[in-house]
Amino acid sequence: MFSGIVAALGSITKLTPRNDGASTVRLTIDGGGLDMSDVSLGDSIACGGVCLTVVEHDDRTFGVDVSPETLSCTVGLSVPGPVNLEKALRLADRLGGHLVSGHVDGVGEVLRFDPVGDNRLLSVRAPQELARYIARKGSVCVNGVSLTTNTVDGAEFSINLIPHTLERTTLGALTPGDPVNLEIDLIARYVERMLNVPGGAD
């Protein structure tokens, strides 16, 4: 479980096909200053909003294996480049963002990325099947970053990005047409399930 508060802006430096017969790819990631002192093999690190398992590491870099399924339903992991990083939450950690599982629900498209003073107005079109989970002033995770929506219109939503977010995450480099990983609010999923299962909301 994660909070969507990016701890470091890392970089995918190498992609190595694995000889496992399943087209798995090992990513070597420079942590970009991420504290690796308490990272162990088997730990989870969110990479661009995708929960991945550490299979090797040193004091600066770590490796994760990515399956073809994950590569097919997410973006940002198939080429070298910057990536938002967050280690899994501990029970005593502050929840500065919102509960994030690291399981991408779909890929959205950036419609606008307009300057508003020092900020940016980010407008994204979500897949239609995710639209009902996105609410005005609700939470959504974009490329692993916990954000609050300003407006929602059908499958489109807008977000105001402050300079800190623009500087410390990959979101500052977005342009219209870019795909982004989206994870909707976990609580919305459970509420829908409770309402649609007979006796679930009793």
> Is the predicted pLDDT of residue 39 greater than 90, yes or no?
yes
**Which residues, 6+ apart, have CB-to-CB distance to 12 below 8 Å?**
27, 28, 29, 47, 77, 79, 80, 81, 82, 83
| Structural domains of the chain in order of their starting residue, each with its CATH number | 8-87 (2.40.30.20), 106-193 (2.40.30.20)
- Tokens 């942590």 belong to which residue? 31
Name 180's bridge partners.
Answer: 108
**Best CA proximity match to 139, nearest among 95, 81, 73, 77:** 95
| Whole-number Cα distances in Å, 16 to 19, 25, 55, 79, 163 | 9, 6, 13, 11, 35
Residues whose CB is less than 8 angstroms from the CB of residue 16 and which lie 6 or more positions away in sequence, other chains included:
25, 26, 28
Each residue of 46-86: pLDDT tens digit?
A: 999 999 999 999 999 999 999 999 999 999 999 999 999 99
Q: Kindly tell me the number of DSSP H helices and DSSP E strands found in the chain.
A: 3, 13
Task: Return all residues near 177 (Cβ < 8 A) that are at least 6 apart.
Answer: 109, 110
Report the mean per-residue pLDDT for the chain: 94
The DSSP output letter for 24 is: -
Q: What's the average model confidence in pLDDT over 187-196?
A: 83
CA dihedral of residues 88, 89, 95, 99 (deg, nearest 10) = 60
Write down the pLDDT at residue 172.
97
Q: Give per-residue pLDDT as tens, 101-122.
A: 999 999 999 999 999 999 999 9
CA–CA separation, 60 vs 148, rounded Å? 31
